[in-house]
C-alpha cells in the first residue's frame, strides 16, 4: 500500500453504532465525556443518534433511555472543533427529526438505505443539502448486491446531491478483495468522495478498511474499543495508529484518542466486543449486525440456538427493518424441533 499526503477523514460512530451494544441507553454524561475526548483528539466528525438513526427509538428497534436530541445537543456543547453527524433511515426518521437535529447542533447527515433502495432517499438528501448539512448517501448491506447494482444506486445518491457515498458492510460479511472491487468501481464511476463503514464479525474490519483506502475511499468509519453492533466496527484508536504507521494523514492525536477509548468508553461498555458464536455467524451468513442482541433474546425465549436463527435469517436475506422476522424464525425453529 502506498500512502498519500491527502487527508483521510475518520468518522467515529461510537455514539451511534455503539448505541446497539448499549441497548440505546447512553447517558448524557457518557455522551459528553466521549464527545470531549473525540474533540480533544482532533476527530473531525462523529455520529450521535439512536443506533437505527433519528426517530429510531421505538418498541421494534429499542427505546432510547435519553432523548436523542438531548444527546446531540450535549455532544455539540462539548465540541470546539469536531462536528456532529446524524444517521437517518427513510421510513424511520422524518423531516422534522432532521430539522430538530440541526437545531440541536448537527452538521452532517448520513441518509441510509438498503443497497438496492437509494431511490427512497431523494427528498432526504435534498433536505440535507437545503439545511446546509454535509450530506452523505449510505448504502447498507453492500455485500447483497453485485458491483454493477451498487454503482447504479450510488449514482442515484450522487444525482440527488450526496457529497459522499458510502459502501457499508453492515453484516461484516465482505472479504478484502470484495471491498476493493466495490470501492474501486465507485471511485471509477462517481465524482463525489467515497466512504467505507465496516463491521468486524469475521475479524476483517481493519483489513477491509485498508482495502477501501487503497481503492480510493477518503472517508472511513471507526468506533472506540470497537463499540458497535455485532462484533463492532473498525477500532478507531487502532486505525489511527495503523494509518500513521502507513504514512496517511488523519490529524488525530494517538495518545488522546487512546485515552478516550480506554479511560472513558471501556468503563461503560456492557461487554467486550469479541467475535462470538452469534456475531461470527452474522458475518458468515450475511445478517445485519444490529440483529445480534434481538437474536440472543429470541434464542433464550424460545430455547433455540441463536446460530440457527441467524443462518435462517441469512437464507431469507433479511435486512434492516425486518426485526420482526427474528421472533418468527425462532418460533418456527422451536416448533420444528
- C-alpha cell of residue 323: 426485526
Whether 303 shows a pLDDT value over 50: the answer reads: yes
Selection from 233, 232, 252 nearest residue 243 by Cα: 252
Tens digits of per-residue pLDDT, 30-51?
999 999 999 999 999 999 999 9
Q: Say which CATH architecture domain 9-268 belongs to.
A: Alpha-Beta Barrel (3.20)
Q: Is 50 annotated as a binding residue?
A: no
Q: How many CB atoms lie within 10 A of CB 132?
A: 9
Least confident of 20-29, 228-237, 286-295: 286-295
Q: What is the pLDDT of residue 289?
A: 86
Answer yes or no: is 294 a known binding residue.
no
Mean pLDDT of the region 182-203:
98
Output the nine-digit C-alpha cell for 209.
478498511
Q: Where are the chain's structural domains?
A: 9-268, 277-335
pLDDT, tens digit (0-9, with 9 covering 90-100), for 68-122: 999 999 999 999 999 999 999 999 999 999 999 999 999 999 999 999 999 999 9
Which positions ≥6 away from 182 have C-beta within 8 Å?
A: 142, 147, 150, 167, 174
Which CATH architecture best describes the domain 277-335? Answer: Orthogonal Bundle (1.10)
Q: Which of the residues are catalytic?
A: 20
170 assigned binding-site residue: yes
Residue 323 binned pLDDT confidence (cut-offs 50, 70, 90) = confident
| Per-residue model confidence (pLDDT) at position 1 | 47
Cell numbers at 229, concatenated = 453492533
Looking at the predicted structure, is the pLDDT value of residue 2 above 80? no
Q: What is the structure's pLDDT at 62?
A: 86
Question: Any binding-site annotation on 288?
Answer: yes
Confidence check: pLDDT of 331 > 90: yes
pLDDT tens column, 125-154:
999 999 999 999 999 999 999 999 999 999
- The span from the CA of 210 to the CA of 168, in Å, is 14
24 annotated as ligand-binding? no
91, 124 Cβ separation under 8 angstroms: no
Helix (H, G, I), strand (E, B) or coil at 260: helix
d(CA 256, CA 40) in angstroms, rounded, equals: 7
Given a cut of 90, whether residue 12 has pLDDT beyond it is yes
Amino acid at each position: 500500500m502506498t500512502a498519500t499526503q491527502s487527508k483521510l477523514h475518520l468518522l467515529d460512530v461510537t455514539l451511534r453504532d455503539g448505541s446497539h451494544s448499549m441497548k440505546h441507553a447512553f447517558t448524557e454524561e457518557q455522551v459528553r465525556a466521549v464527545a470531549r475526548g473525540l474533540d480533544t483528539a482532533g476527530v473531525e466528525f462523529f455520529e450521535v443518534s439512536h443506533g437505527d438513526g433519528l426517530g429510531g427509538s421505538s418498541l421494534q428497534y429499542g427505546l432510547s433511555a435519553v432523548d436523542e436530541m438531548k444527546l446531540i445537543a450535549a455532544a455539540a456543547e462539548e465540541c470546539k472543533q469536531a462536528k456532529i453527524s446524524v444517521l437517518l433511515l427513510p421510513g424511520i426518521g422524518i423531516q422534522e427529526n432532521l430539522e430538530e437535529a440541526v437545531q440541536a447542533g448537527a452538521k452532517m447527515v448520513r441518509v441510509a438505505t438498503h443497497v438496492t433502495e437509494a431511490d427512497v432517499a431523494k427528498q432526504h438528501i435534498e433536505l440535507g443539502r437545503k439545511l446546509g448539512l454535509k450530506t452523505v448517501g449510505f448504502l447498507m448491506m453492500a455485500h447483497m448486491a453485485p458491483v454493477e447494482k451498487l454503482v447504479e444506486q450510488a449514482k442515484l445518491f450522487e444525482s440527488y446531491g450526496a457529497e459522499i457515498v458510502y459502501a457499508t458492510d453492515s453484516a461484516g460479511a465482505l472479504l478484502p478483495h470484495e471491498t476493493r472491487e466495490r470501492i474501486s468501481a465507485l471511485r471509477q464511476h462517481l465524482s463525489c468522495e467515497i466512504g467505507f463503514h465496516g463491521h468486524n464479525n469475521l475479524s476483517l474490519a481493519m483489513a477491509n478498511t485498508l482495502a477501501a483506502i487503497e481503492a480510493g475511499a477518503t472517508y472511513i468509519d471507526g468506533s472506540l474499543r470497537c463499540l458497535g453492533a455485532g462484533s463492532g466496527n473498525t477500532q478507531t484508536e487502532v486505525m489511527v495508529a495503523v494509518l500513521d504507521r502507513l504514512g496517511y494523514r488523519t490529524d488525530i492525536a494517538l495518545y488522546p484518542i487512546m485515552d478516550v477509548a480506554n479511560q472513558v468508553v471501556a468503563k461503560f461498555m456492557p461487554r467486550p466486543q469479541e467475535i462470538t458464536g452469534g456475531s461470527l455467524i452474522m458475518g458468515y451468513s450475511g445478517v445485519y449486525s444490529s440483529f445480534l442482541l434481538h437474536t440472543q433474546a429470541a434464542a433464550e425465549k424460545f430455547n433455540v440456538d441463536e446460530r440457527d436463527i441467524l443462518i435462517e435469517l441469512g437464507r431469507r436475506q433479511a435486512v434492516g427493518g425486518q426485526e420482526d422476522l427474528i421472533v418468527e424464525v425462532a418460533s418456527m425453529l422451536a416448533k420444528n424441533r
